[in-house]
Amino acid sequence: MSLAPPATRDGWSYSGEFHVEASGHNHHRRATIPELKAVFDGSAGPKDRPAHWYEAQLIHYGLPPSKVKGTAKMRLLDVVNGGKLAVPDHILKTEAELKKEWTKRAREAKQALKRSPATTTATPTKGPSKRKADNGQAGGASEADVNLNLSLSIGSQGDVEVQRQVDIHREDSYGNRSEEGYDSYSGGGYHTEDDHDGGVLPPLGLLNGRYRLRCTAPPNLADCGEDSGLILTLDGDALWGSFEIGPLSGILRLDERPWASSDQPLYFEWRGNDDQGNNHEESNDGSYIKFMGDGDVVGEIGFYNSMLEFEGCRVSGPETRSEISAVSMRREWDERRL
């Protein structure tokens, strides 16, 4: 959650990502051309997008919008197949102006937070509790393990912030296992951690969801790869990620999820491939990620004899369920074993 409200204008908005409003007050980011092709060829999954998603994409690309799903979908497909899809200059200008406005607000809000009276923060603790459902059920019914983790922060004025993460693991009588995960936070105080400038970091916030990333180094990869991104999914105390960072894509794994924002690196293992089709399986190459609070992340990932530096922020908004399940990421992890 950003400290700054979205910058808005005529149905457009920016709060770390550029969105447009479609029918029913639904807001959607602009899908990239590869994402659109994946939707149309079915590789993005069997579930189709709603009508307002197609309507929003038409608006994003400056095409005549339609609230009728079939019309909007075919109109977009025709332009994608024709190879003429492009974002008009006036929309790019609006995006740049709103991004500049929101970035300024966010920077000012963070500076204001740093100037606010320091708070005394209790050491985050995990209070896991488990509850297993009654297993005296008919065949095919399920039982569940519920894991509840709490972090408590108490400010100098008595204000309290609670961070809560719940994971539900279900297994039916036939041994089929499914998982659900969500996390949330509440309270009026700010949880703070020292950063490298001697100031404070905002609360950790939500973890599950999509992150927009960009490479910042080495120079030949800086600012390239607009499709770079990361999807994180909680799995008990562990954290899985499906990533695309510069020329690399794959799955990463942290055995221990972060419990508070911090400037300390969390080292991860990863398996994936580069854009030349070479496979990689790395566990000790120094790859790490830092959770700086408010959805901001920075890190490095090994690439042959160098490190790709990246930074980004969470763009999923208030949604607490990830797009990719931990089960799917574990399966892909196993499939990528060298």
Provide the residue-wise pLDDT of the chain in tens; the chain has 338 residues. Answer: 456 788 999 999 998 889 999 998 899 999 999 889 989 988 888 888 899 999 999 999 999 999 999 999 999 999 999 988 999 999 999 999 998 998 888 888 777 776 665 444 444 444 444 444 343 333 333 445 555 555 544 443 333 444 455 555 554 444 444 444 574 444 333 333 444 444 588 999 899 999 999 888 887 766 554 568 999 999 988 999 999 998 899 999 999 999 999 999 999 999 999 888 888 988 888 999 999 999 999 999 998 888 899 999 999 888 888 888 999 999 999 988 86
Q: Is residue 196 assigned to a domain? A: no
308 in Cβ contact with 217 (< 8 Å):
yes
Q: Same structural domain for residues 259 and 330?
A: yes
Q: Same structural domain for residues 80 and 150?
A: no
Q: Is residue 107 assigned to a domain? A: no
- pTM score: 0.47
Per DSSP, the chain holds a count of helices (H) and strands (E) of 5, 18
How many domains are contained in the chain?
3
Q: Is residue 136 assigned to a domain? A: yes
Residue 180 is predicted with a pLDDT of: 45
Coil, strand or helix: which one is 44?
A: coil
Residue 164 is predicted with a pLDDT of: 52
Coil, strand or helix: which one is 252?
A: strand
Q: Where are the alpha helices (DSSP H) in the chain?
A: 33-41, 51-60, 69-81, 89-115, 326-335
Q: Same structural domain for residues 225 and 258?
A: yes
Residue 126 is predicted with a pLDDT of: 45
Q: Same structural domain for residues 218 and 310?
A: yes
22 in Cβ contact with 55 (< 8 Å):
yes
Q: Is residue 63 assigned to a domain? A: yes
Q: Same structural domain for residues 141 and 76?
A: no
Residue 166 is predicted with a pLDDT of: 52
Q: Is residue 43 assigned to a domain? A: yes
How far does Cα 221 stand from its chain's mean position? Answer: 22
Domain end residue (candidates: 90, 107, 139): 90
Tokens of residue 50, six digits: 């709603």
Q: Same structural domain for residues 305 and 217?
A: yes
Domain end residue (candidates: 90, 111, 138): 90
Burial of 198 (0-12, 13-18, 19+ CB in 10 A): exposed
Q: Is residue 181 assigned to a domain? A: yes
Domain end residue (candidates: 90, 119, 143): 90
The closest of 219, 197, 211 to 309, measured between CA atoms, is: 219
Q: The domain containing residue 284 runs over which residues? A: 209-335
Residue 2 is predicted with a pLDDT of: 54
Q: Distance (Å, rounded) from C-alpha 75 to C-alpha 66? A: 9
The closest of 7, 6, 58, 51 to 30, measured between CA atoms, is: 58
Q: Distance (Å, rounded) from C-alpha 31 to C-alpha 53? A: 10
Q: Is residue 111 assigned to a domain? A: no
Tokens of residue 175, six digits: 């041994």
Q: Is residue 230 assigned to a domain? A: yes
